[in-house]
Amino acid sequence: MTNPATTDLVDHGSLSQFDMIIDVRSPDEFAEDHVPGALNLPVLDNEERAVVGAMYVQQSRFLARRVGAALVARNVARHLETTLADKPANFKPLIYCWRGGHRSNSMATILAQIGWRTIVLQGGYKTYRRAVQKQLYEDELGYRLILLDGGTGCGKTAILNRVADFGVQIIDLEALALHRGSLFGALSGLSQPSQKWFESNLLATMSKLDPDRPVLVEAESSRIGRRTLPPAFWQAMGRAPRIELRAPLDVRASYLLGSYPEIVADRSLLEAALSRLEVYPGRKRLESWRLMADAGEFLELVREVVERHYDPSYARSSRNDKRATLGAVTLHSLDDLSQVAAANEIAALIAQPLSRA
């Protein structure tokens, strides 16, 4: 008889040795957070898990286990006949559930009997989550960050991703948080990930980078929408030198208007964005902005919001910022060619020894 082995190693190198990482928890559990790259093959779906759990509490442990075993057997059989049907004899999966208990062992035992080299994650998802928390909440980050800073509308996110084309390591925090930041950040129509899933994706992104080379990230506040940067990352950002992007106000306003067509298309989304401004602009000014929207003067509206709300805030924070500055890059346009040229300049600044900052 072949029994599944166990492991408690959840680092990127250890996880990458498996042909498949199988999360057997319910879809709701999986949706909140999971090991990046894992496939959800639940042995109990959301409703089945609730029914068996209620049975365990309200009736008897024996009845719950008997009913649960029948459901698990049916679900595992379905996975074997579908998702796992084409796996070869040397297939090596890692299986986990919430605590590495009944659900993962039920599926792992069947897979091991087939002859597959089946491994169970000891402690289950909780082992993985403890490792994430340790690295992002307790340990030093272990990466040298450089911040890409600049006023609202400088094209920081677009240019950040262009810098990657010049061989610079980057982390796009807004992409991980599914939030575009600042003025109209939540207008994408996408729900932000859970805090745990945001952290899982952040750690997975970091694991693919070389810690001996600098990493460029956009200068953000500690919160991106409703997601919070974990302490180790935020502390590393607090020590990081900056590269500043600069562009004229009119250029930035035009860029924002082109980047956020929702400003024009949906008045309710515009109202929601204005209501989220960190400092209330005052009744008269807010009414003036609404009149601009009524008249279709969206470029002037965006220009005023940036000039009167975001630029003063950025100027104050810049005056108080004690972090070193590696240099500034000025753009007179934010078209594609200008962005590529700026990205090239930024890559050159990053290539300089940090001691020159």
Domain with CATH 3.40.50 in the chain: 141-356
Three-class SS of residue 148?
strand
Please answer whether residues 97 and 125 qualify as being in contact, where contact means their C-beta atoms are separated by less than 8 angstroms.
yes
Residues in the chain: 357
Which is catalytic among the residues 38, 84, 97, 302? 97
In whole numbers, what is the pLDDT of the chain averaged over residues? 91
Each residue's pLDDT tens digit, 34-93: 999 999 999 999 999 999 989 888 899 999 999 999 999 999 999 999 999 999 999 999
Please answer whether residues 242 and 327 qualify as being in contact, where contact means their C-beta atoms are separated by less than 8 angstroms.
no
Q: Which of 178, 181, 197 is nearest to 189 (CA)?
A: 178
Q: Which fold has domain 141-356?
A: Rossmann fold (3.40.50)
Q: Please say if the pLDDT value at position 297 is more than 80.
A: yes
Each residue's pLDDT tens digit, 159-183: 999 999 999 999 999 999 988 766 6
Please answer whether residues 209 and 138 qualify as being in contact, where contact means their C-beta atoms are separated by less than 8 angstroms.
no
Alpha-carbon radius of gyration of the chain: 25
Q: 154 catalytic, yes or no?
A: no
CA 17 centroid distance within chain: 24
Each residue's pLDDT tens digit, 191-220: 899 999 999 999 999 999 999 999 999 999
Q: Which fold has domain 5-134?
A: Oxidized Rhodanese; domain 1 (3.40.250)
What DSSP letter does each residue of 166-219 carry, written as one string? GT-EEE-HHHHHT---STTTTTTSPPPPPHHHHHHHHHHHHHTS-TTS-EEEE-
CB crowding 263-300: b at 16 or more within 10 Å, else e? beeeeebbeebbeeeeeebeeeeeeebeebbeeeebbe
pTM, 2 dp: 0.91
Element (H, E) at 246: strand 242-246
Strand partners, 149: 244
Three-class SS of residue 36?
coil
Domain with CATH 3.40.250.10 in the chain: 5-134
CA distance 28 to 32: 7
